[in-house]
């Protein structure tokens, strides 16, 4: 058997390309702004995680440029050896202060944070409890660890409680959830999770990639939003959403972060985040704290779109964030709708099985503080026309 045979047999992507509905790896010829250029046409961008609209902020771009001038384009090594710059340390101190944690540690990507952190915390004496809708990097991190993985039904904390009750009492227990689930846009019930973790002697880690900068009075994410910051043991986040760059971090008690720093293989064996990204995040943190009105504009836009989309007749699930899914049914409907919406001037992302259950394909939409009402109304006109055309709405 040729190890490449599975590659030669794979036809799904080619069939989608032949049908004209292939929706992935689309080439954008502009920045991640409220309006982007694709195939020479302007589209309202409703498929980006640039929630606060900071990726094109002039101060952030200038900070990145200055970092390249001072430090060069790369780090030429891992944090473990030669790749730690003083700006990495400064960023980690600033992140820890912002989040109210003893220490923070940066990784080159958000995926690596969960991969490295979860894997290095789990040995054969441990169990990890995952929400069924947790992000792929959480699942892969659990797979790489030596502990036992237990999944519970999405946001079903009675199911989690049962699984904790029947777990071995002598096992270490780690619960890992998304603060905001990235496809559905709903939130984890952190107060109840805190109650369960205390009752069963577990630790709680929250992937807050889609919440930092967005939720909470000060933008510190879902633990601040729910008032349980002191009871969440580890906070993970990424730089590729509200923080306008690439990379990620884990924050928590100093001794725990020290362990991760010395045992997480994706950290030890990967080149450290480049200077431009580090400088961009530092400036983004400054702006988030300086301009809380950005967060308010984001929520104003989110409330407007949630109301108008429901008014058109769309099923938006249980979304309670700037991620608003539109449930459209079959996978092909999602592909067709993605293409037609682009033709009508709106960029969106399809979410199909196995990422969602069969028959519950979605169009994932997400919003920015920098969208204007004119941008949103243009998109709504496209949603109304295409949704009726495809029979998704009446």
Structure tokens at 82: 């030669």
- The answer to whether residue 66 sits within a structural domain is no
Q: What is the CATH number of the domain that holds 26?
A: 3.90.1150.10
Q: Does residue 169 share a domain with residue 133?
A: yes
From the list 223, 218, 219, the residue with the least C-alpha distance to 234 is 223
Stated pTM of the model: 0.96
Instruction: Give CA separation, 35 vs 27, 31, 351, in Å.
Output: 14, 9, 22
The strand pairing partners of 203, in sequence order, are 174
Give 321-383 as a 3 state SS string: CCEEEEEEECHHHHHHHHHHHHHCCEECEEECCCCCCCCCEEEEEECCCCCCHHHHHHHHHHH
Tell me the pLDDT band of 356, cut-offs 50, 70 and 90.
confident
Instruction: Summarize pLDDT for 17-26 with one digit per residue, the tens.
Output: 998 999 999 9
pLDDT at 374 over 90: yes
Give the DSSP H or E segment for 151. Answer: strand 148-152
**Angle, helices 373-389/293-312, rounded to nearest 10 degrees:** 20
pLDDT at 117 over 90: yes
Which is the catalytic residue, given 48, 108, 182, 280?
182
Tell me the pLDDT band of 357, cut-offs 50, 70 and 90.
confident
Strands (E), 153-239: 172-178, 203-207, 234-238
Tell me the pLDDT band of 355, cut-offs 50, 70 and 90.
confident
* pLDDT of 106: 98
d(CA 383, CA 107): 38
Structure tokens at 99: 């989040």
Structure tokens at 392: 């998704």
Q: How confident is the prediction for the chain on average, in pLDDT?
A: 97
Q: Does residue 188 share a domain with residue 238?
A: yes
Q: Which residue has the tokens 């820890």?
A: 96
Give the DSSP H or E segment for 141. Answer: helix 136-144
Tell me the pLDDT band of 167, cut-offs 50, 70 and 90.
very high
Rounded average pLDDT over 169-196: 97
Q: What is the DSSP letter of 273?
A: P
- The answer to whether residue 360 sits within a structural domain is yes
d(CA 314, CA 387): 8
Q: What is the DSSP letter of 152?
A: E
Q: Does residue 131 share a domain with residue 31?
A: no
- The answer to whether residue 157 sits within a structural domain is yes
- The answer to whether residue 148 sits within a structural domain is yes
The strand pairing partners of 130, in sequence order, are 151, 176
Among 290, 305, 327, the domain boundary falls at: 290
Rounded average pLDDT over 149-168: 97
Q: Is 182 a catalytic residue?
A: yes
- The answer to whether residue 109 sits within a structural domain is yes
- The answer to whether residue 63 sits within a structural domain is no
Among 290, 317, 335, the domain boundary falls at: 290
Q: Does residue 379 share a domain with residue 326?
A: yes
Q: Does residue 303 share a domain with residue 271?
A: no
Rounded average pLDDT over 324-350: 97
pLDDT at 193 over 90: yes
- The answer to whether residue 243 sits within a structural domain is yes
Which is the catalytic residue, given 197, 210, 225, 371?
210
Q: Does residue 202 share a domain with residue 118?
A: yes
Structure tokens at 138: 């959480």
* pLDDT of 44: 98
- The answer to whether residue 67 sits within a structural domain is no
**DSSP codes of every residue in 8-66:** HH--HHHHHHHHT---SS----S-SSSEEEETTEEEEE-S---TT--TT-HHHHHHHHH
Q: Does residue 121 share a domain with residue 264?
A: yes
Give the DSSP H or E segment for 234. Answer: strand 234-238
Instruction: Please give the backbone phi and psi of residue 28, each rounded to the nearest 5 degrees, phi first.
Output: -105, 135
Give the DSSP H or E segment for 237. Answer: strand 234-238
Q: Does residue 281 share a domain with residue 301?
A: no
Tell me the pLDDT band of 231, cut-offs 50, 70 and 90.
very high
| Residue 360 belongs to domain spanning | 5-55+292-389
Rounded average pLDDT over 269-283: 98
* pLDDT of 278: 98
Do the beta carbons of residue 240 and residue 246 sit within 8 Å?
A: yes
Q: What is the CATH number of the domain that holds 206?
A: 3.40.640.10
Q: Does residue 261 share a domain with residue 150?
A: yes
Looking at the 3D structure of the chain, how many domains does it have? 2
Rounded average pLDDT over 33-62: 97
Q: Does residue 285 share a domain with residue 190?
A: yes
d(CA 225, CA 135): 21
d(CA 56, CA 54): 5
* pLDDT of 35: 98
- Locate all alpha helices (DSSP H) within 166-322, ordered by sequence: 190-199, 222-226, 254-263, 265-268, 275-290, 293-312
Q: Does residue 283 share a domain with residue 296?
A: no
Q: Is 210 a catalytic residue?
A: yes
* pLDDT of 354: 87
Which is the catalytic residue, given 241, 283, 371, 375?
241
Among 262, 290, 318, the domain boundary falls at: 290
Tell me the pLDDT band of 230, cut-offs 50, 70 and 90.
very high
Q: Does residue 103 share a domain with residue 134?
A: yes
The strand pairing partners of 45, in sequence order, are 347
């Amino acid at each position: 058997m040729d190890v490449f045979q599975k590659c030669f047999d794979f036809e799904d992507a080619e069939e989608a390309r032949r049908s004209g509905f292939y929706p992935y790896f689309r080439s954008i010829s502009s920045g991640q702004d409220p309006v982007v250029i694709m195939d020479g046409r302007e589209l309202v961008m409703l498929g980006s995680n640039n929630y606060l609209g900071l990726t094109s902020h002039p101060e952030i771009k200038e900070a990145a440029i200055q970092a390249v001038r001072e430090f060069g384009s790369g780090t030429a090594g891992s944090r473990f050896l030669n790749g730690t710059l003083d700006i990495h340390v400064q960023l980690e101190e600033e992140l820890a202060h912002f989040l109210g944690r003893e220490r923070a540690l940066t990784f080159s990507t958000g995926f690596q944070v969960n991969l490295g952190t979860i894997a290095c915390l789990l040995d054969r004496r441990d169990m990890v409890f995952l929400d069924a809708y947790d992000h792929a990097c959480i699942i892969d991190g659990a797979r790489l660890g030596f502990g036992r993985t237990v999944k519970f039904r999405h946001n079903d904390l009675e199911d989690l409680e049962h699984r904790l009750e029947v777990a071995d009492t002598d096992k270490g227990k780690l619960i890992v959830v998304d603060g905001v689930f990235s496809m559905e846009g709903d939130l984890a019930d952190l107060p109840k999770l805190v109650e369960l973790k205390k009752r069963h002697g577990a630790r709680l880690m929250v992937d807050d990639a889609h919440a930092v900068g967005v939720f909470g009075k000060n933008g510190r994410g879902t633990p601040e939003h729910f008032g349980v910051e002191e009871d969440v043991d580890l906070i993970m986040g990424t730089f590729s959403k509200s923080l306008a760059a690439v990379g990620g971090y884990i924050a928590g008690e100093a001794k725990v972060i020290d362990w991760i720093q010395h045992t997480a293989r994706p950290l030890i064996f990967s080149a450290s985040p480049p200077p431009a990204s580090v400088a961009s995040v530092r400036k983004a943190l400054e702006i988030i704290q300086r301009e809380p009105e950005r967060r308010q504009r984001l929520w104003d836009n989110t409330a407007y779109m949630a109301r108008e989309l429901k008014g058109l007749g769309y099923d938006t699930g249980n979304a309670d964030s700037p991620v608003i899914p539109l449930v459209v049914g079959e996978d092909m409907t999602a592909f067709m709708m993605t293409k037609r919406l682009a033709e009508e001037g709106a960029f969106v992302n399809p979410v199909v099985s196995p990422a969602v259950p069969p028959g519950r394909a979605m169009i994932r939409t997400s919003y920015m503080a920098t969208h204007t009402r004119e941008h949103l109304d243009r998109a709504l006109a496209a949603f109304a026309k295409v949704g009726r055309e495809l029979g998704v709405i009446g």
